[in-house]
Structures are given as structure tokens and as C-alpha cells.
Structure 1
């Protein structure tokens, strides 16, 4: 009889479909642990993209360690990494090229992760930390600690202070418009221009030797980076990636209007503050190592979005793509005009400038 609710018996409970019998949605894999009552949906396209980018990054890393003033075979590189082979090859790989490769991977990943977070926060593909002035703010403060303007604080701490200052100024000049719209972008460009001018003024007023020591911080370079700053960046990147993945659902909802995100259970203001702080910290740590290589924050997320579906924010894919871009850019800077070395910031600017114009001119298209 309809309208009669029968009591739930143990037999009826056993006949219900188990957790293992629930089919995954189209385009997903379902990984279940029935013993613990946990199941995870994995998007097939995202898994394929992440595996592909990881493989490309590994291949680029081997190529990076192989090429230079002395060319090594991939087999010799792998043997040196495993503690085998002759001492000279091991010295070149482990002491000369590997530390710089690690710095390239960490900085590229941090810039791209900060970029995808800021773009999602602002709902604007141009809102990277470099374009809205955070890179230049961090650079100005780091250069101030190097040229010795009465400041004894280490460059990483000063870079964090500068990035925070630039972010606060940009939000203040946006005058209540939040992170949406072009007013936020224009305010950030203005703040970045001011900090860039301050950096040039500081370099013009110090001795030539001091200015030469600080110059790589103004264009972006991975040559002879301090190991302590790279280690700090590695720790910050690991924690930042975990935090970003924990915020993945909120980031997906923040792409919609605030009312929709709030209606779906997201604390919009708290999440915006968390995402902003995470982006600022990642940018500051990356600038403290490599200087302002901001266009990686634009190119990395764009590569990830072009490969991924539009269902989610491609956090891991953007991180891997940023590391890949930085490794290839620094490799090109080291080898194309050897023995003359081109700073990685100049290489990314040459590639990223046309990319930025293409983004501005290309019509926005939806992807499945």
C-alpha cells in the first residue's frame, strides 16, 4: 500500500546497495575503502593531466642536468643521482646543477600556485601576483635589505613584508571593490609601478658593486641562490600545496558569485582571506629565492587550464606546469647563448609577453 511506511528490518538493510556498488559519475574513478567508510572521486582527465605533467617535468629535469658547459648523457645523470659513476660527473650533477634545478622547481611551482589562487580569488585570469604588484613589493623590500639601507633583516623576511605591504595597498586603493573587476587590477599595476621605481632609485644611489649584487633580484635569476632560502621555500611550498588542496572545494565555489558560494556552505570572507594570505606568502618566498619572475604565475595556470576540465580549479596541474616552465626557461637561459647566461626572468618575460597579449585578444571560450 502506498503511504504506508514499513519498519526497516535487518533483511531490508542487507538488500540495500553497499558502498562498493555505488557507481562513479561519468568521467570519474571511485576509490573506496569500505572498512573505514571512506570513498574518493578521482576525475579521469585530472589524473591523466597530472601524470602527463609529472612525466614532462621529470624529463625536463633530466635534460636540465644533462646540458651545460659539459654535456652529460641521461644515463650518466641518473647514475650520479643514485650515487654511482665517476666523481667529476657526480660533482657536476649533485653540487653544481642539482641545487639550481631544485630552486627552479620550487620557485616555478610556488609562483604558479600563487597565481592560480589569486586568479581564482579575483575571478580574473590577469590577476597574478606579478601583475597586481606583489612581486615588485617583495623585490623592493628584498633589495633594501641587500643594499644596506639600515636594514639588517634577511631577504626572505623582507620579501614577505614587502609582499604583504603591496597586497594591503592594492586592496586599499581598490576602495571597497574587493578583488573583482578591473579596478583591482589597475590599482595593483599602479602599486607595482611605484615599488619598481623605488627599487630602481635604491640601486641608483648605491655603489656599483652593491648594485651589481642586488641586480639579479630585480630581473629574476637562479644563479647561486642561498640554500637557506631554498629550504624555507621548499617547506613553505609543501605546506602551501597541502593548504590549497584542502581549500579546493571552496576555491571551486569561489568562482561563482558570493551569494551562490555562501548558499552552498562556504564562508566567503574567511576563505578569501585565507587564499589571499596563502598567495602572498608563496609569492614572497619565491621572490626571496629567484626575484620577480612573475609571468610564470600567468603561464603555469593557463597551461593547466587549457589541459584540464572546467569542473575544478587545477591546483596540482598549475603547480606542476609552473615548475616545468621555470625549469625549461632557466635551461634556455643557461644554454642558448652559452657562455653568456640570460637570467630566467628575462626568458620568461620574452615568452610571457606575447602570451599575455594572446590572453587579452583571445575570446573567452567555455570548456567541458
Structure 2
């Protein structure tokens, strides 16, 4: 029987989705309803992907204040966008179909991440802490290179890059959203049969290996899943560095359990709820469209400092 807390979260997401779709009599216009439906799909896709990816990464690192962004995913995305604009003088951004841009961004981020970090894992004898340190260094390198090239761009080209620095939930392409959902569903189906193994893996390399878990192989599979989910969400709307931390902290407080059968769906639903409620608040009540990402980063940053001060890292 499903956990009552998951049922309550699912009901809250459903209610928030209905309010988001039909606020202000949107059912009278099929065009408005279609636009809101695509945006709602993007919010659900990003919330689910970021929530699950962060839970997996915290299991992998055995640390509750780390998120995949520390590995340099967001910095890699900004560098990639800057390189494209710098190399083509913005022509590629203006002429390429949106779904092709999304697919190229996703595949490039997944490929680059796996090449860099799987090579590091092999040389470091599967030391995940060293991998995180390398991720931090690469993130700084990516940001430095992106910042240098951005200074060489003219104002119109820099505006193209700047549009990708913060997550934007407006103008999500339908085909890109469909591809993102398909990739996310593949990862979710793989995880559905692995939640018990992930519970054992959270005990650490030694105990998990003693209990029969192929730790190194599962670690690689988890990195592939994390890279895919983060690449999908970032390529779809842009970087959201602290959303995962905010979502997982709320999920841990609600679930009070380390079981992945609760944590993974709980984080997915909580991510959807946070984004849908936040977007509804800013669009329908405060009339401040496209500011949700800034508020999430601000709240997530404060939460990071609070968790760090309290020492809640396990």
C-alpha cells in the first residue's frame, strides 16, 4: 500500500496543477490552455529530474548538503552555450531548431560528463570523494573559461548567453519536452527496480560490498543516471543549482526515512510541488514572470548555509 505521505504529496501536486492550468478561466481558451499545459509539463519534468538526481547524488556521496551542481554541470552548460555563441557569432543559436538544440545540449553534457568523471574514477580507484573534488575544480575551470569568452562577445551576443544563465520556464519547446520526458522515464524505470539496492549502497562501500552489492558497477550506473537527469533538466530550462538541495531537505523533513522507496518518489513530487506553486505565485499573483529561478537560488543558498551551520550532512 502506498505511503500516506506520498499520497498526500501526489494529491497536493494534482491540486496545484489544476490551479495552475485553470486559474483565471483558462478553460475558455484552448490556446492559453495549451501553453499552460506545455509549461506545466516542463515544471513537472524538471522538478522530477532534479529531485531524483539530487537524492541519487547524496546517496553516492553520503552527504546531505551536496548536489550535482557541485560537479560542474551548470558551469559546463554555460560554457557550452558561450562556446556556441562565440564560435558562430550567435548564428547557430538563431537558426538551429529548438528540439535539435535541446538534443545536442543533452547529449553533449551527458557525453562530456561521463568521459571526464569515469576516467577520473578509474584512475582514482573508485574514490567518490576525489571525484567530487575534481568536479569542483572542473566547475571553476568551466566558469573561468566561460567568463573570459563572455568578455570578448559584443552586447547582442552576450545577451544570448545571458538568457541561458538562469532557468526560464517560458517558451519550452513541445518536441524538446517530449524528448526530455522520454529520457527521464527511462531512468525512472531503471530506478524502480533498484531502490532496495540503493538502500544497501547508502551504508557505504564496505558494508554494501559485504552484503553482495556490486558497488563499483552500481556507482557508474548511478553517475550515468545523474548525468542524464541533470542534462535533461538543464538543457530544457537552464541551470537551477539549489533546487535539488531545497527539495531533498523538505523531503527528508517530511519522510523521516532513508528508504529510497520513499525518498525518490517523495523528492520527485516535492520538486514538482515547489516549482508549480512557485510559478503559480509569481505568474498569477505577483505578476513577476521568470523570477522564480532567482528566488529558488536565494532560498536554496540560505538553506545550504543553515544545514552547514547545523552540521546536517549525513
CA contact (8 A) 2:82 2:161 kept: yes
Higher-Rg member (1/2): 1
- SS at 1:292 equivalent: coil
Rounded Cα–Cα distance in structure 2 between residues aligned with 1:47 and 1:173: 39
Indicate whether 1:52 and 2:8 are aligned.
Answer: yes
Per the TM alignment, residue 204 of structure 1 is displaced from its structure 2 partner at its CA by 3.4
Rounded Cα–Cα distance in structure 2 between residues aligned with 1:259 and 1:325: 36
1:325 to 264, 274, 280: 274
* Larger CA deviation: 322-331 vs 241-250: 322-331
CA contact (8 A) 1:138 1:160 kept: no
Rounded Cα–Cα distance in structure 1 between residues aligned with 2:195 and 2:117: 25
How many residues are paired up? Answer: 303
Rounded Cα–Cα distance in structure 2 between residues aligned with 1:104 and 1:120: 24
**What TM-score do you get using the length of structure 1 for normalisation?**
0.73
2:201 to 246, 254, 276: 254
Partner of 1:191: 138
Indicate whether 1:346 and 2:286 are aligned.
Answer: no
1:48-127 matches, cutoff 5 A: 48-67=4-23, 72=24, 76=25, 80=27, 86=28, 88=29, 90-92=30-32, 94-127=33-66
Per the TM alignment, residue 126 of structure 1 is displaced from its structure 2 partner at its CA by 2.6
Partner of 1:36: none
Partner of 1:158: 105
RMSD between superposed Cα atoms in Å: 2.8
Distance 1:100 1:365, change over 3 A: closer
Per the TM alignment, residue 225 of structure 1 is displaced from its structure 2 partner at its CA by 1.8
Structure with the higher fraction of residues in helix conformation: 2
Distance 1:148 1:323, change over 3 A: farther
Partner of 2:168: 221
Distance 1:207 1:349, change over 3 A: same
Distance 1:195 1:163, change over 3 A: farther
Q: Can you list the C-alpha shifts for 1:115-171, whole angstroms capped at 9, x where unaligned? A: 111111111113311122122213322443456549777343234323543465456
1:361 to 303, 309, 313: 309
Rounded Cα–Cα distance in structure 1 between residues aligned with 2:22 and 2:201: 43
1:133 to 63, 67, 72: 72
Distance 1:337 1:309, change over 3 A: closer
Distance 1:191 1:345, change over 3 A: farther
- SS at 2:69 equivalent: coil
Rounded Cα–Cα distance in structure 1 between residues aligned with 2:159 and 2:300: 25
- SS at 2:212 equivalent: coil
CA contact (8 A) 1:142 1:156 kept: no
- In structure 1, the gaps of 5 or more residues are 1-41, 81-85
- SS at 1:219 equivalent: coil
